Structure 1
C-alpha cells in the first residue's frame, strides 16, 4: 500500500499491483467475447485489467453487499418484522467521457455471476434530466448536465422507493440518439439485489440557493460510492476521440440529434468537439463534478491509456 506524507488522508492508496493481490482466489468469470460487448466506443480494456482491477473490486463489493444484507436481516429481527429485500446501491460518478458506463457494465457483469446476488441493474441519471422542452423554456440547453438541469426531486423519490424495498419501481428512459428523455417510456426495476446508479451528478449536493430542493442528498441512499477519475487533458482527448467516432457512425442516422455534425470534415469536427468540451463539459467538470471526488468511498484513477493506475479506498 502506498504511504504518503499526509497521514491524515481518509483513504488507503493502492497501486494496481497491490490491488491485484487482493483478488486472492476469486475466479475470472468473464470471457473475452463478453468483455468485448461491454467496451465503450473509444476504450480498449484488457482481460488483465478486468482480472487485476475489477475482479478484486467485485470481491470487495460482494463482501460489502453480503454484510449489508445480514445487517438488514438483523435489524428486521430486532423490530420483529419480516426480512425485506433491500437492494445494495452503488453510485458511480465521474466526468463526461471518463468511462463510467463501461465501469458500470463490467461491475454488473461480474457481480451478476455471484450466487448470492444475481440480479444487478444499472440506472443512469440521464433519465432524470428535464426534457429538452423544459430545458429550452428555462434557457438551460447549453447547461445540460449541470446540476440545475436535473429533476432532483424525482431522482430522490426513485431512490427512496428503492431503499424502502418497494417491489417494482419505474425509471425514466433517456435516448442518446434523440438526446432527450423519451416521453411515456420507463425502465422497470423489479426486486434487484444490487442497483448501480451511474451519472456525473450522483455525488453532488443540492444547490444551496434553491430552498425548495429536498434536504437529503442523492448520495445519502448509496451503500458504496465510486468516482472514476482522470486528468482534464486526457478527458478532453477522450471526448474529442469519441465525438470523431460518433461522427462516422451514430451521427449519420437522420434521427440523431447530432446529425448536423455528420457532414463536417475531420478538422471542423475536432474544432466543434473541442469547443463543446471547453464551453460546457470542462466548466461542469471543474465547478460541479471534480469537487465531489473526495465524497466517494472509492476513487479509481485512470492513466492516458484508460487503464486504472491507482485505487483509493476510504478508511472505515
Structure 2
C-alpha cells in the first residue's frame, strides 16, 4: 500500500537544500532513519557519503551522530544467485535479502545501548562486506540508501515503514546509462557486454524504481558530480 496515497512529494533542489534538511532531521532529538531511494546510477551512495561527511564535519565525531546502513550490503551471494537461476538478474529486487535488511532497520529504529554492525558492498569484489558500517548507540541519524526502498510489495513495504523520511534522487536516464556502463566496464566486462547488461538489466530496474518516486517525502535533483567530502 502507498504510505502517502494523497500526498505529492515536495522538492529538494541542490546540495544545500539536502544538507539543510538532513541537519533538521539530526536536530530532532531521537534516532531518525533517512531513506534515500532512486534508480541505479543516480548517485545515491555518493550523496550518502557526502551527507555523512558534511554532518560529521559540522557536529564532530565524538560521540558519533551519523552512520549509514545501505541496502547494497544485502545483495544475495553470487553462489546463491547461481543456484536460484538469478545470476543474470543481479541487482533486481528479487536478488536482495529484503527480510534481512528490514530486520536490520527495525533493530536500528528501536535503538538500544549496543552497537549495531551493518554490511556494505564491494564493487571490486562483487560481494557484500560484513560489518563494514558500525552504528553505536550515540548515532541519531542513520542514512539508508538503495534502489528499492519505496517499492510497495509486502516485503519491501517493511523497509519503507522503518524510514522516518524518504527522499527520491532523480537522474536522467542517459546520464544513468553512461554511469552504469562505466561501472560495468570497471568491473571487468567488455564494452559490448557492459552495454548489453545495462540495456537488458539495469535500465529495466531503473524504470521500475522511477515509478516509485511519488511515494517519497521529497524529490531531489543534484548536479552530475558532487564535490569531494571535507
| TM-score scaled by length of structure 1 | 0.61
Q: CA deviation at 1:243?
A: 4.0
Question: Is 1:168–1:189's contact at 8 Å kept on the other side of the alignment?
Answer: yes
- Please report the RMSD computed on the Cα atoms of aligned residues, expressed in angstroms: 2.6
Which of residues 128, 132, 145 is equivalent to 2:78? 132
Q: 1:242 to 1:130 in 2, by over 3 A?
A: closer
Question: Is 2:168–2:213's contact at 8 Å kept on the other side of the alignment?
Answer: yes
Q: Does 1:227 align with 2:148?
A: no
Q: CA deviation at 1:12?
A: 4.2
Which of residues 301, 304, 307 is equivalent to 2:221? 301
Q: CA deviation at 1:281?
A: 0.3
Q: 1:173 to 1:302 in 2, by over 3 A?
A: closer
Which of residues 178, 182, 186 is equivalent to 2:131? 186
SS of the equivalent of 2:59 reads: coil
Q: Which has the larger radius of gyration?
A: 1
Which of residues 1, 7, 10 is equivalent to 2:8? 10
Alignment of 1:1-316 (within 5 A): 10-13=8-11, 53-67=14-28, 69=29, 86-115=30-59, 118-166=64-112, 167-182=114-129, 185-187=130-132, 188-191=134-137, 192-206=139-153, 213=155, 216-244=157-185, 246=186, 251=187, 258=188, 261=189, 269-287=190-208, 289-302=209-222, 306=224
Question: Is 2:81–2:87's contact at 8 Å kept on the other side of the alignment?
Answer: yes
SS of the equivalent of 1:97 reads: coil
Q: CA deviation at 1:272?
A: 2.0
Q: CA deviation at 1:302?
A: 4.7
In 2, Cα distance between equivalents of 1:155 and 1:9: 26
Question: Is 1:128–1:150's contact at 8 Å kept on the other side of the alignment?
Answer: yes
Map Cα deviations across residues 242-266 of structure 1 (whole Å, 9 max, x no partner).
445x2xxxx5xxxxxx3xx4xxxxx
SS of the equivalent of 1:112 reads: helix
| TM-score scaled by length of structure 2 | 0.82
- In the alignment, structure 1 segments of 5+ residues that lack a partner are 1-7, 17-52, 70-85, 208-212, 252-257, 262-268, 309-316
SS of the equivalent of 2:27 reads: helix
